[in-house]
A and B are shown apart, each in its own frame.
Chain A
């Protein structure tokens, strides 16, 4: 094969892959602005925001989205505070059990959370926590912690200890040292962990689906599912519009941290360690 032919073949295959990946998106984008949308993506010259207007009400969009914000936001804040505290001794002190602890955390990130849901549900039922939003947030935070502690520790390792020494000379304890010196210096890292946890929970369907009992407590992930699992009476254009409203924050936040996440992929493949 000549160079030109190889180059053309590569470009054609990239074009085909891109088109194939675009395919399933077309319907959501097209149907959301079609007043009489059905299940297939048929571009027409009708264009309106009627579908958006139809779903933008308290029950359909606002309430579930607020629930999503409360659950994902609560989980993100709790996870960041707890993992930030935990990362401090792991980053700063010489501890005998440190390596084992970090490896255990990494091991935990691999365990399927789906499988834990049966015992979690059973525990929640026994201790009367079934349907409790705060308890659900605590569980979500615990499930996000292993990876969050890893990220936090890596970011904290990047803050030189010498900068803290000045604070110690002034008599600051570890709390002041952490909150006044370390955290401000690793603010981008804190933001990345916050957004990472938030986006992860924003899309989480299974955990709230299992642990929360009434539709009033459910986040948008579950509401959308309910919306479109009632086959036959689905307003497809509205489903598409709701999907876009629900997806937008995840996309925007991903774009915001995209640059910082790049490093974690060479970590996942860990050629450099």
Chain B
């Protein structure tokens, strides 16, 4: 952004202003247009975050005695949290889900597609982009329905595998693999678009010069292309981690966290505790842990990109 010096619109014929009134007008000049946004952000974003900090330390529930009269319980929710096997299970599953579907799956596949698409014809790129982006544009509930039909016992995959004798209920035998594949399918477009944009900034004469010097395609990739786009790689990793960490609808609609707790990631466990058992205080403690993790990744992202604000 270029810094713009602005002559503020003046009221016609306004008399000489005293210093305090001038300052007030200066404040109102930005406060009035920013006001509605500030009000909404404070009530509906900052409010809930602060509220979660408060209720995470209470025994707030929506049913039973504590719903009328919740009180401060100190770190009890957090002590319970880190001794809760189901929470630790959900945390590990979330970790596997993020590493498998975002860091390895979407990131690598997005980079590979962007790399091999470079320099291909427009039609080919259009078709590949179209299909990959379509999976991204589809609402998550529809994506879940697509994958459900693909992996279910009477689904398309078993129909294809039928003669090989491998048919099984994939959502039952491999629920984590199912949600990881579904999320790779849904999210790869984002990484692909980020890397296509980044690769278009890699100067082609540099690659050509290296090719003339006899560097193989692999060496050009490792020694020239990847170092040049490393900031994009890192910030892409942060962004997709943030998106994947909080994934709910896709998993909930596809496996519901099951069978049992076999694919119950932390957002689903939080949902179960807070909205099925109405343990709001306990659910908030979990929410707070997720917010802190999200905040750390978000801060790292801010450090990585060069923002011009």
Contacts and interface: CB of A to CB of B under 8 A. Distances in A.
Interface of A: 6, 10-11, 13-14, 17-18, 21-28, 31, 38-42, 81-83, 85-86, 88-95, 98-99, 102-103, 106-123, 125, 138-139, 141-143, 145-146, 149, 157, 161, 165, 168, 171-174, 177-178, 199, 202-203, 205-206, 210, 221-222, 224-225, 228-229, 236, 239-240, 243, 246-247, 250-251, 254, 262, 265-266, 268-273
A251 B137 contact: yes
B290 A269 contact: no
Contacts of B306: 270, 273
B37 A83 contact: yes
A38 B135 CA distance: 22
Given A93-B29, A115-B287, A103 B307 contact: yes
Interface of B: 1-12, 29-30, 33-34, 36-38, 40-41, 43-45, 47-49, 51-52, 55, 60, 62, 109, 112-113, 116-117, 120, 124, 127-128, 131-135, 137-150, 152, 154-156, 158-159, 182, 185, 188, 193-198, 200-201, 217, 229, 231-232, 235-236, 238-239, 242, 245-249, 252-253, 256, 267, 270, 274-275, 280, 283-284, 286-288, 290-291, 294-295, 297-299, 301-302, 304-309
Nearest to A223: B141
A88 B32 CA distance: 11
A270 B290 contact: no
B198 A89 contact: no
16 contacts: A25-B135, A40-B156, A85-B33, A85-B37, A89-B34, A91-B4, A107-B302, A112-B242, A113-B246, A118-B270, A119-B52, A173-B11, A240-B149, A265-B197, A268-B236, A270-B304
A61 to B, nearest CB: 14
A21 B131 contact: yes
Contact of B217 (A6, A141, A174): A6
A46 B102 CA distance: 40
Contacts of B231: 269-271
A206 B149 contact: no
B30 A95 contact: yes
A65 B37 CA distance: 28
A113 B198 CA distance: 28
A110 B229 contact: no
B159 A24 contact: no
Secondary structure of the B contact surface, majority rule: helix
A93 B30 CA distance: 8
A49 B146 CA distance: 20
A58 B132 CA distance: 33
Contacts of B297: 110
Contacts of A125: 62
Contacts of A88: 33
Nearest to A100: B309
B214 to A, nearest CB: 14
A115 B270 contact: yes
Contacts of B148: 39, 228
Nearest to B232: A269
A122 B60 contact: yes
B141 A114 contact: no
Contacts of A112: 242, 245-246, 267, 290-291, 294
A270 B235 contact: yes
Given A95-B30, A161-B4, A251-B137, A266 B145 contact: no
A119 to B, nearest CB: 4
Contacts of B141: 203, 205, 221-222, 224-225
A165 B40 contact: no
B98 to A, nearest CB: 12
Contacts of B195: 269
A189 to B, nearest CB: 15
Contacts of A225: 141, 144, 249, 253
A149 B41 CA distance: 12
A243 B307 contact: no
Given A138-B44, A221-B141, A251-B134, A116 B291 contact: yes
Nearest to B200: A266
Nearest to A85: B33
B257 to A, nearest CB: 13
Contacts of B120: 10, 14
A210 B275 contact: yes
Contacts of B40: 82, 138, 141-142, 145
A95 B275 CA distance: 43
B307 A102 contact: yes
A53 to B, nearest CB: 20
A118 B284 contact: yes
Contacts of B34: 85-86, 89-90
Given A17-B113, A250-B138, A270-B307, A38 B37 contact: no
A271 B235 CA distance: 10
A14 B36 contact: no
B39 to A, nearest CB: 9
Contacts of A171: 9, 12
